[in-house]
Amino acid sequence: MDILHLAFQVGISKKLKRTGWVKRKVKNPESVAEHAFRVIVLCMALAPSLKVDQQKLVKMAIIHDLGETSTGDIVVESWKKIFLDKRKKKEKIEKEAIRNILYGYGEDYSNLFQEMIQRKTEEAKTFWDIDLLERTIQAYEYEKEQGIDMTEFFASAEFFITHPLLKSAVNDLKKMRSK
């Protein structure tokens, strides 16, 4: 077990800027770590109301972008389209990366990651909804602060987010946006 090695690897997530924002020339875009932290807080706070296993949801949030510290942040969707081949490839290398990062700690979370990417259990579906909601809120904030058109992100959110409570948050956000 090498705690320092692990910490240095996680440290990369602070320096990694999220690709979606970089491509749209957002000034001082958030890092992968910043995104992940807000997703963690949302998962923790919302799990009881969403009637899903809180521990599982939070763990998903913690590991979901850890692989990006090895692979970089690869974008696999645009508007209402998901590039499935690309996503599959991304998930495969991320899974391997997470296993490498966590090698030697007894648990490599590959089962949990598998559950996440199969998107079948309530927890997995809810998790991706929260991940997307967090991103949409961030898009709203950048649009407001920096005047960059983020319509694409709202279109994705509207299309993909299915949980009623989270859907209603997206609708509220759209109302705020139209003002």
Enumerate binding residues for other proteins (CB under 8 A): 1, 3-4, 6-8, 10-11, 13-14, 30-31, 33-34, 36-38, 40-42, 44-46, 48-49, 55, 58-59, 62-63, 66, 102, 105-106, 133-134, 137-138, 141, 165-166, 169, 172-173, 176
CB atoms within 10 A of CB 17: 16
CB nearer to other proteins: pick between 47 and 124: 47
How many CA atoms lie within 13 Å of 65's alpha carbon, on the beta-carbon side? 27
Distances (CA, A) of 42 to 45, 53, 62, 129: 5, 13, 12, 11
CB nearer to other proteins: pick between 4 and 111: 4
What is the nearest approach in angstroms of other proteins to the Cβ of residue 44? 6
Please list, in sequence order, all residues whose beta carbon lies within 8 angstroms of the beta carbon of residue 2, skipping any fewer than 6 positions away: 104
CB nearer to other proteins: pick between 87 and 125: 125
Q: How far is the C-alpha of 69 from the C-alpha of 22, rounded, in Å?
A: 17
CB nearer to other proteins: pick between 87 and 146: 146
